Amino acid sequence: MTNTVRIIINDQTYDVPAGMNLVDAAKWYANDDIPVFCYHPKMEPVGMCRMCLVEMGTIEKDRATGQVVLDENGQSKVRWMPKLQTACTTTVSDGLVIRTQTQQVQDARQNVVEFLLTSHPLDCPICDKGGECPLQNLTMEHGPGVSRMAFSDKMRLDKHVPLGDLIFLDEERCIQCARCVRFQDEVVGDDVLAFHERGRSLQIITNSEPGFDTYFSGNTTDICPVGALTTADFRFGARPWELTEVPSICPHCPVGCNISLSTRLDRDFGGKTLIKRVMPRQNEQVNEIWICDKGRFGHHFSRSEDRLEDPLVRERSGRLFAKSWTDALAAAAEALKAAGSDVAAIAGSGMSNEDLWALRQLLAGLGSRRLGAWPPTHAGAEVVAQVGVGQGTNLGQLGRGDAVLVIASDLEEEAPIWRLRLKQAADRGAFLLVMNARPTRMDDFAAQTIHYETGEAVQALLALKDSDAWKQLAEAHNLVIVAGAEGLSLDGSRALAGAAANILLETEHVGKPNSGLLAVLPGANAMGLHYLGFTPAATLDIMQNPPKVLIVTQADLLLDDPTAAHWLAKVETIISLDLFASGLTQQLAAVALPIQSFAERDGSYVNGERRVQRFYTAQGPMGQALPAWQALSRLGEQLGQGTAKLSAAAVMVEIAQNVPAFAGVSFKELAKVERQYPDVGGKDLYYGGTAYRNRGGLGIQIPTAADQGQTVARFEAAADEPPKTRGKLVIVPSVRLYNRERTFRPSALVHARVPEAYAEINSADAKKLGIQDGDTVEIAIQNAPALRVRAHVNGGAPKGTVIVPRHLSDTAAPLAVTVGEVSKAEG
């Protein structure tokens, strides 16, 4: 274990780890809240605000003998420093003595608060922070009660400065603690905020174009110790004390950030409970106290206009009619009965484990095992189940002596919080190697970057052994490999996961915490899909051999896959369980059943690190929508498969009994919490900010085969044949965090940040085709309508490759790597 040192706080002795910050140590071990404004436990101290002043001294030792000097009472003598010292810039050391409650300290605190208030407005009644404001709280606790400042001399500054589209700055409220600036710089690495001017004119500015250009801006509003930074989303939505906090899980990506949905009844939402804001909920192993802006501002889809609210049945005329649940379920049951076992299902990765189990049971009852996972873009979940990052992994612990390899993924766009945490791992000294066919944001933080030919990720990984980087990986104390699937076919991504696993096995980086494989799978519950038997391979099989009846649950086939209309044409009946009325439901479904989003019901997801995490009912239901597990289990009842389940918890009991990976998992276990360091979210909002303490559960990480001590055989990792281009270009789909997916499009405030549909074209290819940067081009692939996008010719794409981000327009972009032609469009 780490060395401990002995310190004395208010005459009590404590043994604390050496090297700890004094403010942290006092709080964690002595339960002594030293007030701070500028210090934050997740950032380096700067000593700017002087709120943390304490009396400080050291136990005197005789220089010659090293013996502690005793005073006349036999007590050890303390050499006090002549003036108060800032606790936040002090690291604990043996014999450190502090006093935090003396008159001198209290006077100092009072003076700092009085001084801060000389230029602070009296906005509390309308300030979004009012009620959970560190400055308010510390003023109440330590402030003078009266001010000697003449009110007429107060600062008058701009109160409504948009820093970008999402965050507003009130210049009068800012106390210049620089937490926001330091967060962007130290934690995120997007250095887009800065101090401008000096002294009393000092202000926060954004120096990026567009303003505050980062995926993590919302976090600054949590750590800002005043209401200077507020989000455009929540602005004036409610007073903090009126909100009910509901623990939930972000539904947008495999990180599975723990969030709190702050809810309140709302007149405009029919008097039902509404999500007013999304806040981070502390889970040090998953997202610490951060979330990205997609998670924070991407909740509007849960009540979008496009939500499917009633069960629909397509009549002979081809039109959809609203029906009762009974009639719609009867229609679905009839279609299923007629099909016998010629049934298959495709489930999206936003479905909860309970939904997936109910779907699997329904199909099992019909005699079918064709369970497809959507989107079928990433294989490798089965490899993760064997050699994934070990139980107890915390990316926040990676540092000096460790190594991280990120391959074939644009992590910033696909899993923002992993990107943020790995950037910090690199800062702490971990060796970060980034490999991709094209430049990505992650390159900026990498110690080394390797660019390989498009589609040759596996070859590049196999070739690593002969490179200089190999030693760093092989000899690393911990090694995490993060494997995506960009530029790879499904087989290619399976081979990549296998090749990565082989490296981990060979270098003995499996079956222990902080080492192993992470697959950047799409969606919130891709690992859940795997554990419950849904595979992308089955989806490809369904595409090739369409069944008579296809059940599609929360998957947007038409908007995801431009060839979907082509292969779906051979399916006789589509039963769609969807959140939305547009797309597949409207165009092709014979029966459409409305289901509830993550916000409206209980359930659980398995994140990319295999952590089963529970979310709770937060928002009022939309129309007649039911949780998917319930709709499916009632459908099963209609088909004589036994009585429908009554609660998500009961479904989880059944999963735990039948699926070995879920052994021991129950809603009760998932809800367990323990004290986490640093201690944020208590009364002392000045310490960690307004991220919520975790009250909903830390989740349970499913052990890998390696964790359980099983020997894992080496994987098949034959390199994929590069696609035969025959003079065409390779079309590589990529992911953008901000896009026009139906689960994100309703968040109108982010629209300005969603890029216009584009494709990256290499300058050599562009020249050959007579295309210039900014031209409109048409991309044509087999069996799909042409896609019109803007050409970007600016070094983003390797030669022979066109990078086409998915979900940027209403026409589907290619789902998988393919070949196609690009031509300049008229007009």
Partner 1 sequence: MNVIRGFATTFKHLLEEPVTYQYPEQIRPFAERYKGRHELKRYDNGLEKCIGCSLCAAACPADAIWVEAAENTDEARYSPGERYAKTYEINMLRCIFCGYCEDACPTEAIVLGHEHRLSFTNRKDAIFTKDMLIDPVPEGGQATPQKVEPGVFTRAIPDMEDPK
Give the DSSP H/E element, type plus range, for residue 204: strand 203-206
| 8 Å CB contact between 340 and 481 | no
| 8 Å CB contact between 402 and 473 | no
Here the contacts of 449-452 (C-beta below 8 Å, separation 24 or greater) are 451/798
C-beta of 38 vs 356, nearer to ligand FES: 38
Cα separation, 461 vs 811, whole angstroms: 34
Q: Which does 159 bind (CB under 5 to 8 A by kind): ligand FES, ligand SF4, partner 1, none?
A: partner 1
From the CB of 430, what's the least distance to ligand SF4, in Å? 20
Taking CB under 6 A as the rule, does residue 51 contact ligand FES? Answer: yes
Cα separation, 363 vs 160, whole angstroms: 56
Taking CB under 8 A as the rule, does residue 198 contact partner 1? Answer: no
Which of positions 60-89 make contact with ligand FES (CB under 6 A)?
A: 86, 88
The two three-digit tokens of residue 249, written as one number: 């899980």
Residue 720 DSSP code: P
Taking CB under 8 A as the rule, does residue 266 contact partner 1? Answer: yes
From the CB of 232, what's the least distance to partner 1, in Å? 10
Q: Which does 51 bind (CB under 5 to 8 A by kind): ligand SF4, partner 1, ligand FES, none?
A: ligand FES
From the CB of 35, what's the least distance to ligand FES, in Å? 8
User: Site size for ligand FES, by CB under 6 A?
Assistant: 12
Cα separation, 695 vs 247, whole angstroms: 7
- Alpha-carbon 804 to chain mean position: 23
From the CB of 22, what's the least distance to ligand FES, in Å? 10
Per-residue mark of binding to partner 1, 227-256 (x: CB under 8 A): --------xxxxx-xx--------------
Taking CB under 6 A as the rule, does residue 294 contact ligand SF4? Answer: yes
Taking CB under 8 A as the rule, does residue 161 contact partner 1? Answer: no
Taking CB under 8 A as the rule, does residue 145 contact partner 1? Answer: no
User: Site size for partner 1, by CB under 8 A?
Assistant: 20
From the CB of 198, what's the least distance to ligand FES, in Å? 18
Cα separation, 371 vs 143, whole angstroms: 63
Residue 585 DSSP code: H
Q: Which single residue brings its beta carbon nearest to ligand FES?
A: 88
Token pair 């965090």 is found at: 737
Q: Which of 41, 237, 240, 256 binds ligand SF4 (CB under 6 A)?
A: 256
Taking CB under 6 A as the rule, does residue 416 contact ligand SF4? Answer: yes
From the CB of 450, what's the least distance to ligand SF4, in Å? 25
Q: Which does 52 bind (CB under 5 to 8 A by kind): ligand SF4, partner 1, ligand FES, none?
A: ligand FES
Which of positions 49-108 make contact with ligand SF4 (CB under 6 A)?
A: none
Token pair 């009867």 is found at: 330
From the CB of 60, what's the least distance to ligand FES, in Å? 26
Q: Which of 417, 434, 622, 789 binds ligand SF4 (CB under 6 A)?
A: 417
Closest CA to 296 of 738, 785, 758, 817: 738
Q: Which of 5, 26, 30, 37 binds ligand FES (CB under 6 A)?
A: 37
Which residues are CB-neighbours of 363 under 8 A, at least 6 positions away?
A: 343, 344, 345, 369, 370, 371, 551
Cα separation, 83 vs 586, whole angstroms: 73
From the CB of 154, what's the least distance to ligand SF4, in Å? 17
Closest CA to 88 of 48, 59, 30: 48
Taking CB under 6 A as the rule, does residue 49 contact ligand FES? Answer: yes
- Alpha-carbon 463 to chain mean position: 32
Taking CB under 8 A as the rule, does residue 121 contact partner 1? Answer: yes
Closest CA to 105 of 13, 32, 178, 175: 32
C-beta of 37 vs 715, nearer to ligand FES: 37
From the CB of 261, what's the least distance to partner 1, in Å? 18
* Three-state SS at 105: helix
| 8 Å CB contact between 481 and 518 | yes
Which of the stretches 125-133, 416-424, 689-697, 758-766 binds partner 1 when contact is defined by CB under 8 A? 125-133
Cα separation, 650 vs 629, whole angstroms: 11
Q: How many CB atoms lie within 10 A of CB 121?
A: 17
Q: Which does 754 bind (CB under 5 to 8 A by kind): ligand SF4, ligand FES, partner 1, none?
A: none
- Alpha-carbon 224 to chain mean position: 21
Closest CA to 37 of 140, 162, 182, 138: 138
Residues forming contacts to ligand FES in the complex (CB under 6 A) are: 36-39, 47-52, 86, 88
Residues forming contacts to partner 1 in the complex (CB under 8 A) are: 121-123, 125-127, 158-160, 170, 235-239, 241-242, 266-268
